[in-house]
């Protein structure tokens, strides 16, 4: 006789949206507005691909400069890079 498994109890199509919605409702970070959902990240997370390339800008470096009329300011280029993330399918 086979035992009961999680597949017998949890229907992912029904359970997953509930968990995501409840997590967002209860999360203090989400409620504060610091984080929000993004259609782009939702699309990436639902793809079948195992890895995703995510672009980002490198941190700015150097000291702040005083802007004085008649003098030139020094500047550096803004550098971008990419992170590679993986989708954990558990």
**Cα–Cα distance list, 2 to 5, 6, 8 (Å):** 9, 13, 11
User: Residue 38's pLDDT is what?
Assistant: 79
The full DSSP string for 39-86 is: HHHHHHHHSS-SEEEEEEEPPP-S------TT---------EEEEEEE
Q: Which of 16, 87, 14, 4 is nearest to 50 (CA)?
A: 87
Structure pTM? 0.39
* 36-65: pLDDT as tens digits: 777 877 777 777 777 878 888 888 888 888
- Give the count of beta carbons closer than 10 Å to the beta carbon of residue 44: 15
* 1-44: pLDDT as tens digits: 566 666 666 666 666 666 666 666 677 777 787 777 778 777 77
């Amino acid at each position: 006789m086979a035992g009961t498994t999680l597949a017998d109890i949890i229907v992912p199509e029904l359970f997953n949206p509930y968990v995501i919605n409840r997590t967002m409702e209860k999360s203090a970070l989400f409620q504060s507005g610091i984080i929000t959902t993004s259609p782009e990240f939702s699309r990436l997370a639902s793809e079948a691909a195992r890895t995703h390339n995510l672009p980002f800008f490198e941190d700015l470096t150097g000291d702040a400069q005083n802007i004085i009329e008649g003098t030139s300011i020094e500047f550096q280029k803004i550098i971008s890079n990419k992170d590679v993330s993986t989708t954990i399918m558990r």
